[in-house]
Amino acid sequence: MTRFSAFVQKEFRHILRDRRTLMILFGMPVIQVLLFGYVLTNEIKNASIAVLDPAKTEESIALTNKLVSSGYFQLEQNLVSQEELDRSFRSGKIKMAIVFPSDFIVDPSKPSSIQLIGDASDPNTATSLIQYANAIIADFVQEKAQDTGMASNQLTIRTETRMRYNPEQKAVFNFVPGVMTLILMLVSAMMTSITIAREKELGTMEVLLVSPLKPVQIILGKTAPYLALTLLNALVVVLVGIYIFGMPLKGSILLLTAECVLYMFVALSLGIFISTKAKDQMTAMFISALGLMMPTMLLSGFIFPRESMPVPLQVIGSAIPATWFNPIIKGIMIKGTGLDVLWKQTAVLGGMAIFFLAVSLRNFKDRL
């Protein structure tokens, strides 16, 4: 028995002294529960909407207020024209728009109709938002009827739903760009970090560093093949999206390619960054999987709408490259937007690439 307990003691010592395993053991479940608990809700709060209300009648203002005070919507913009509405949708500033007719009244003599327009490049969010809006409008009519002492069926507001960009609300419009962010990250970052960590683990990295090769050459030499492979990968995903799932490619192919390359640079530099921290292949794989794959899937808005996440997770999410790359692909492919709108996301990705590349290059030699 003492022999056994001594053995168990030893095993505990192993575990308690290995901080990394300990962190995975206790950190992982906690983080997963927190993430899933917070993120795995499809309830959307404070979605940005715009209102086009030429009449601004007492009733239209009351209905707008009711929608905004529900907590689901946040009034981003009061629109003045149809053109402005188009622009707001294209820039991705708003998720839904409400268009009132110029003679909006709620009266038994004349049923009014409102247009609800959703941005269906993210079909799940669009559908939910339209449902919320419909429920609130129905509630509004009910209250109005009670106030005026009419039977509720005497008053009606008809709503007419339009789905922009993806009228059939195909989920594929959402997941093709999402999968692209994921795969490019997987191949570029994970493979790069593993392949560099492998050289360190096997000892060949030392031989390379002693040789006349410069650290920059070693890094570029190791990443160039993956850059080529990843570009090929991206092409395959786009082609599958277009020819098998019928996704459109409304914008410029050149811009899409350029943005993909930019995103891959971010991913590659992240991979290099990880490999400067990781001593062996296993560690590199763990860090890539936990630090890159999970957040890319859960926090970038690919599966779960970012609007419904608590603020701290939204902040973390905005540090993830995919969060910025996702709207770029969707914009170019589905909406046909160009750099005039996407410059901001592009700039953020560019900044990330420069930052991580600089940090990794500085760390590269010292960390061996």
Nearest CA among 312, 337, 298, 318 for reference residue 119: 337
Do 75 and 51 meet the contact criterion of CB atoms below 8 Å apart?
Answer: yes
Q: Say how many residues make up the chain.
A: 368
Q: Which is nearer to another protein, 154 or 204 (CB)?
A: 204
Between residues 65 and 217, which has the closer beta carbon with respect to another protein? 217
DSSP code per residue over 10-55: HHHHHHHH-HHHHIIIIIHHHHHHHHHHHHS-----SEEEEEE-SS
* CB closer to another protein, 167 vs 212: 212
- Selected binder of another protein within 61, 209, 303, 316 (CB under 8 A): 209
Residue 73, strand partner residues: 47
250 or 367: whose CB is closer to another protein? 367
- If we measure between CA atoms, which residue out of 290, 288, 269 comes closest to residue 278? 288
Q: Output the smallest distance, CB 366 to another protein, in A.
A: 8
- Compare residues 200 and 306 and give the one whose CB is closer to another protein: 200
Cα atoms found within 13 Å of the Cα of residue 115, Cβ hemisphere only:
15
Q: Smallest distance from the beta carbon of 219 to another protein, in angstroms?
A: 15
Coil/strand/helix, residue 319:
coil
Interface with another protein (CB under 8 A), residue total 12
Pick between residue 160 and residue 206 the one whose CB is nearest to another protein: 206
State the Cα–Cα distance between residues 322 and 296, nearest whole angstrom.
6
State yes or no: residue 75 binds another protein (CB under 8 A).
no
Within 17-149, strands assigned E span 47-52, 73-79, 96-99, 112-119
Smallest separation (angstroms) from another protein to the CB of 20:
20
Tracing tokens 């990394």 back to the chain, one arrives at 20
Part of the chain binding another protein (CB under 8 A), chosen from 132-140, 197-205, 270-278, 350-358:
197-205
User: How many whole angstroms separate alpha carbon 331 and alpha carbon 338?
Assistant: 8
Among 203, 254, 312, 340, binds another protein (CB under 8 A): 203
Contact call for residues 191 and 222 (beta carbons, < 8 A): no
Estimate to the nearest angstrom the gap between the alpha carbon of 314 and the chain centroid: 10
Q: Which of 83, 212, 311, 312 binds another protein (CB under 8 A)?
A: 212
Least distance (Å) between residue 189 CB and another protein: 22
Among 210, 254, 312, 340, binds another protein (CB under 8 A): 210
The answer to whether residue 361 forms part of the interface with another protein (CB under 8 A) is no
Verify binding: residue 202, another protein, rule CB under 8 A: yes
Residue 319 or 368 with smaller CB distance to another protein: 368
When binding is defined by CB under 8 A, the residue of 8, 22, 24, 207 that contacts another protein is: 207
Q: Which stretch binds another protein (CB under 8 A): 80-88, 118-126, 205-213, 324-332?
A: 205-213
Where on the chain is the footprint of another protein (CB under 8 A)? Answer: 202-204, 206-213, 368
